[in-house]
Structure 1
Amino acid sequence: MSARLVKSTHSKEEQITMPTETNPGNQTTTGADAIDEAIARGIDFDGSPIPPAKLELYGKVMALEGNRQRSGVSNTMRSRIVRIGAKHIPQAELDQLLVDAGFAPLKEKEIAFFYSGK
């Protein structure tokens, strides 16, 4: 059995046929590419196949994102730093790191979203 995923690469879409057999043996769950690799294989970290409907929806949304006009590299870098940094770095420290690097400090809405309840 196999699942199809539409992968967007900047201006073109390509369809990838992915096997859905279970093969968790050599799959890593760490690092920035672990999720993308699991999706490409069609296999979740627990070894279970990712349902084709989920892969199809993911492919559609990623194709839309792939076609979205970007606002700038620095804006995207800052967004990623905030989104990921908030998981690992205390608020005051992340705020100072942003300022030290020449980015805008954390916004109130970012603090409320990422740090409320911590």
Structure 2
Amino acid sequence: MNPDATTTGADAIDEAIASGNDFDGSPIPQAKLGLYHQVMGLEAGRQRSGVSNTMRSRIVRIGAKHIPQAELNQMLVDADFAPLKDKEIAFYYSGK
């Protein structure tokens, strides 16, 4: 990885994968890179259900790491998204 590259931000992981090196400079094993690219290729060919659905999914998946459940739920409702579903609460918040 480029020594000036950052380990923060949305693109940091993609940049490391593209370089084939982890943040510590060690090479990512080819078996891991190969499997990653195989699965991402499958995902690239998947039909999408709509931009709003994908936006909501990303907000929930990432927001749950940073925002308390009640606050994230209210933020979703305020933005006219569906509130958190029971299965999302169980998955993302059951261990917190």
Q: Same fold (TM over 0.5)?
A: yes
Alignment of 1:1-118 (within 5 A): 23=1, 25-118=3-96
- Which 5+ residue runs of structure 1 have no aligned equivalent? 1-22
Specify the structure having the higher radius of gyration (Cα): 1
Q: Which has the higher strand share?
A: 1
CA contact (8 A) 1:24 1:43 kept: no
Count of matched residue pairs: 96
Percent identity of paired positions between Structure 1 and Structure 2: 80
Q: Work out which structure has the larger RCO, using CA pairs closer than 8 Å and 6 or more positions apart in sequence.
A: 1
d(CA) in 1 for partners of 2:2, 2:9:
16
The alignment's TM-score, normalised by the length of structure 1, stands at 0.79
Q: In 2, distance between residues paired with 1:65 and 1:117?
A: 28
Q: Which runs of 4+ in 1 moved over 2 A?
A: none
Gaps of 5+ in 2: none
Determine which structure has the larger helix proportion and give its number: 2
